[in-house]
Structure 1
Amino acid sequence: HHRPCICTPNVIDDEMVQKAIEEQFPEDIGKIAKREGINFKDVTELQLSFRNILQIDNLWQFENLTKLQLDNNIIEKIEALESLVHLVWLDLSFNNIEVIEGLDTLVKLQDLSLSNNRISKIEHMDALQELQIFSIGKNNLTTLEDVIYLRRFKKLRTLNLTGNPLCNDEHYTLFVVAYLPDLVYLDFRLVSDTTVKAAVLKYQDFTELLEREEAQALAQLEEEQAKQKELEYHKAAFVEYLNGSFLFDSMYAEDTEAAKLASLPGVGDLQEDFVSVCENLFNYGLQEYEKREAEVSDFYESLHEALTANQQEGRKLILDFENRNKTVMLGDILQLSDALMALEMLIADQLEVRVHRVLRSAFSLTIFSTMTQCRDLENRHHEELLEISITALEKSLKNELDEDLPADVQMLLVDRTTIVNAVNTSHGIHLLKIDKRESDILSNINHWQTSVTEKAVQNEIDRNRERIREIVQYIDNLQEELDNLEIMEPIV
């Protein structure tokens, strides 16, 4: 390998690509390719070495490319490779690249060469989980610890780092082998058992600590993913965050007065009853979700059965028609056309009935009654709070309060208007939160119903159009045949 001459810098364009593809073929095929043109989608390998390319561009059409050679150019930036999602092999060695980037979509990449560039950090490669061979020799990698980044590639077996400043570290080999225990080849040499043992001996304490940290991080990630999955399930059932005090807490989150008022003597706790009502709805919601899913599944199954029966009926009509031996008249053809169209109409009517059957849900009523329960609890709590507050005010004015209240509560016990306003403001906030939650759930249900209906109806419209087109085509053909017969019959 050597650097290309400094001629005019190029950008990859169609002409360059076309030429490169033609050169890849044997001469005779190359000529045919030149004459007939090549569909870039069919190209799986592309060699663009030694072409003085400054910038990567115009490769988006090669969506099935598996091997790409861009070595020995003057490329400064890894870019415009997003659409090459099937790439397995990528060679960008001998260029002027300074940063590893632009590889996020290349999830199938197994072999990556970035040797002889100007890269100073190993980074931005997280997506390359299939990576097996990585060459990044003769760059500006100075920090030995950077190698630890490569632990995330569980399939990496071959690594080349030669010619980087970090190789000058006296413990270089042992460090790399210790932190990347699955390596088979390092810098073009087989990693020997002796080296592995020496590496383990030297770095065991560090690697064991790292392994523990990685295991913890993985466990945490899995836990978060499980939580997220569960939340998605709850959302699909329209009852997210109802299994606990979330709604209750949100009622009080923006309500500054409530906390003060709650410290008045004799104020009962609303939370327990409130949360219990929410949890009942939550459990019911999950059951309803399972029921809905089953209903939708049954709906599609029965629709499929109805369509199949309808198609068989249509085929039977056509077969009967074609098996009649008597001379076909125009009236017969029109009669067949009407019969086939009538079958189509039947399906459309059936669909409407079936969709409505699926969407009849008792769930909305339950939500309404649950939220009414929540409102009732809040109303009762409000009345109780109002009564206690006014009693406290009257006692306070007569200096008959049994206990010292916090200063901010005493500030409310000035006159009736102040205390009533505080209690009413608090109540208003709570009711708004309950109403909002109710309307959110109901609008999610409506959204779901609409999307189920629209999908079913759209599928049916598409199928119906196609079917009617087929019928019209078939009837036209029959009429044409009839016309031809009439022309051919001799005039008596």
Structure 2
Amino acid sequence: MYKVDTASALREATEPGVITQNILVSLAIDQGPRREAGRLFLEDGIELDGLKEIRIEFLNILNIDHLWPLKNLVKLSLSHNVIERIENLDELVHLRELDLSFNRIKIMENLDNLDQLEILLLYSNEISIVQGISNLKKLIILNIGKNKIMDWKHVIYLRDFKSLRSLNTCNNPCTEIDGYLDYLFAFVPQLIYYQYRMISESERQSAIDKHYRIISNLEENETKVQTELALQQELKDRLALLSASYVEYLDEDYLFEQMFSLDEVGRKLYTINENTQNAFEEYKKTFSAICHELYELGLQEHDKRTEEIRLFECVVNEGKENKQNVARKIVDEVFEKKTEIFTNIKNVMTALIEGREGEANATHDITAKATELYNEFNNLLFKARNQLMSKEVILHDQMEDINEVFRINMMDMINLFLETARGYFSLLRKSQAEYNNTIDELISHYISGFADEVHIPADLKDLCGDKDTLITTLTASHDVHLQVINNREELMVNRLNNWFKDYMNQLIVNENKRNHQQILEISHFFGFLEQEFKLLSPSQELGLTDIGLDDILED
């Protein structure tokens, strides 16, 4: 348990330094809950990851560090320090407000992970370039006033932040150049406030009128860029869907083209004459049709798996929610009864003290009453703890059963899909064999038309100058095609099976982690109640040294 003296801990920062555990705990205690319960949690170091807001100000902090325990922080102020570099904030992914004003920061950097950030305050630093915040698309308020920003490039940069509503760039060299505000108001139309003052419609329209032609060209270029990005995203999303369906590149002629891209001999053979070219086109048509059917099947099976997962998660979440509701009711009853018992105990202790000063004969009855109340509280905790643990054991068993049912259902679904898919790959191999036979017949007939080998074109002699050479050539081409088909089948089977294996393993890990965490929370909850119970009053005053929670809770 941390025993932190707030004043001494904060004195650690009188010399330029880093953030320490003691500083964090001290500030959390000083700025956090005032009730004794809140203080106990923080001193145990348990609830640092539950803090939503903290101010680390005026502490001469030089380096940002040791903030990883504050994973759920929403608001952080590090203003009025001597910080020179933005760093070590990657873990604070829930942060919405960050104040780094009045420091010595020169570069805007290491902010990419803070994509939930809505307010960024960097007033009074040494920043010369606005950069490093491209991921902060939810940014609403940005204050970069009183820095060393010289040019206007930041205006176009900030144009992309469509959620930006308030900006402050005052006391930067760039603002002293005539026309800056017009340029800013015209090219960042989403702004509503500048230096926390609302921009009037007349100011904005006047600025737009001055830069109308440039704005028109800029908007035209932006539209083209956005269209291109939308197309790229559409293709990316489509590929992601096909990949998740394990049928990527099966909707077009990719697999067919891949076979012939690896088969130079095959490309030469199908161009021998019109008949071989027609056979090739027919083969391509048949092959692609089979691929497309497999592609459609893959999408359908992906939808089935997605729906199965959705139904599974609904059942799991319902089970967890039902258990949480029951647990919440048990805990509420404990707190309600605890309040009543603690009030009665305090009344008994008061009566005991008054009895010792007055009638000594009343002591025995009062002590008996106190013993009864202490036993009642012990029994309350014992019963509630058993109830919560029992509910958690039942839920864990149910989750394991549900996981097993899901595993069986999903395995059956996957096996059926793979069995059907293997049938399609067999059709692809069959079509390849038929094409190989057709080409053999067509080329053999073509070669037989020549009087002798001397008249066969030179570029064909090495490929099909005689029957044995033709057979060898076609066999090599056939093997290349089969290898491509077999590899694609193996890829589908292995990827789908590996996904299923990893998914089930992760379900087990997640459930065990949840179960372990719940048991720890229950144990900690009753440990806290026990501690609160012991702190209520020394049992020696009532002659209750033989009464305690430890023995009962251990049972």
TM over 0.5: yes
Shift of 1:134: 0.9
| Equivalence for 1:51 | 59
Answering whether residue 231 of structure 2 is matched by residue 223 of structure 1, we say yes
| Residue 163 to residue 420, structure 1, CA distance change in 2 (3 Å) | farther
| Equivalence for 1:171 | 179
| Residue 52 to residue 248, structure 1, CA distance change in 2 (3 Å) | same
| 8 Å contact kept, 2:17–2:63 | yes
Match of 1:192 among 183, 200, 214: 200
| Equivalence for 1:121 | 129
Answering whether residue 478 of structure 2 is matched by residue 432 of structure 1, we say no
Instruction: Give the AA of the match of 1:425.
Output: A
| Equivalence for 1:318 | none
Q: Percent identity?
A: 31
The farther-off stretch of 293-302 and 240-249 is 293-302
Matching of residues 222-371 of structure 1 within 5 Å: 222-265=230-273, 266-267=275-276, 268-269=279-280, 270-291=283-304, 355=408, 359=412, 361-371=415-425
Match of 1:374 among 428, 452, 465: 428
Matching of residues 408-419 of structure 1 within 5 Å: 412=463
Instruction: Give the AA of the match of 2:491.
Output: D
Answering whether residue 98 of structure 2 is matched by residue 66 of structure 1, we say no
Determine the C-alpha separation between the residues in 2 that align with 1:56 and 1:464: 35
Shift of 1:271: 0.8
Shift of 1:187: 3.6
Structure number with higher helix proportion = 2
Shift of 1:91: 1.7
| 8 Å contact kept, 1:158–1:184 | yes
| Residue 418 to residue 118, structure 1, CA distance change in 2 (3 Å) | farther
Determine the C-alpha separation between the residues in 1 that align with 2:42 and 2:435: 85
The farther-off stretch of 456-465 and 91-100 is 456-465
| Residue 98 to residue 408, structure 1, CA distance change in 2 (3 Å) | farther
| Residue 350 to residue 185, structure 1, CA distance change in 2 (3 Å) | closer
| 8 Å contact kept, 1:295–1:358 | no
Shift of 1:251: 0.9
| 8 Å contact kept, 2:29–2:43 | no
Shift of 1:223: 3.4
SS at match of 1:90: strand
SS at match of 2:117: coil
| Residue 248 to residue 68, structure 1, CA distance change in 2 (3 Å) | same
Matching of residues 82-231 of structure 1 within 5 Å: 82-231=90-239
| Equivalence for 1:385 | 439
Unaligned 5+ segments in structure 2 are 1-12, 319-393, 517-555
Instruction: Give the AA of the match of 2:17.
Output: N
| Residue 409 to residue 168, structure 1, CA distance change in 2 (3 Å) | farther
Answering whether residue 20 of structure 2 is matched by residue 13 of structure 1, we say yes
Determine the C-alpha separation between the residues in 1 that align with 2:51 and 2:437: 77
Determine the C-alpha separation between the residues in 1 that align with 2:50 and 2:314: 39
| Equivalence for 1:337 | none
Shift of 1:199: 1.0
Shift of 1:179: 0.8
Determine the C-alpha separation between the residues in 1 that align with 2:515 and 2:77: 49
| Residue 190 to residue 409, structure 1, CA distance change in 2 (3 Å) | farther
Determine the C-alpha separation between the residues in 1 that align with 2:160 and 2:154: 12
| Residue 411 to residue 74, structure 1, CA distance change in 2 (3 Å) | farther
| Residue 286 to residue 184, structure 1, CA distance change in 2 (3 Å) | closer
CA deviations on 1:56-78 (whole Å, 9 max, x unpaired) are 00111123333322223222211
Shift of 1:273: 1.1
Determine the C-alpha separation between the residues in 2 that align with 1:453 and 1:24: 43
CA deviations on 1:104-138 (whole Å, 9 max, x unpaired) are 22233222111222222212212322222211123
Shift of 1:7: 7.8
Unaligned 5+ segments in structure 1 are 1-5, 306-340, 466-492
Determine the C-alpha separation between the residues in 2 that align with 1:439 and 1:177: 59
| Residue 456 to residue 54, structure 1, CA distance change in 2 (3 Å) | closer
Instruction: Give the AA of the match of 2:418.
Output: S
CA deviations on 1:122-165 (whole Å, 9 max, x unpaired) are 12212322222211123232231222111222222221112323
Instruction: Give the AA of the match of 2:209.
Output: L
| Residue 219 to residue 12, structure 1, CA distance change in 2 (3 Å) | same
Determine the C-alpha separation between the residues in 2 that align with 1:118 and 1:276: 64
CA deviations on 1:144-194 (whole Å, 9 max, x unpaired) are 122211122222222111232322332211111111112222245442333
Give the TM-score normalised by the residue count of structure 2.
0.64
CA deviations on 1:349-406 (whole Å, 9 max, x unpaired) are 99679926960654333222222221122112223333444555563954546xxx7x
| 8 Å contact kept, 1:281–1:370 | yes
Give the TM-score normalised by the residue count of structure 1.
0.71
Determine the C-alpha separation between the residues in 2 that align with 1:96 and 1:239: 54
Answering whether residue 40 of structure 2 is matched by residue 40 of structure 1, we say no
Determine the C-alpha separation between the residues in 1 that align with 2:190 and 2:16: 41
Determine the C-alpha separation between the residues in 1 that align with 2:406 and 2:162: 54
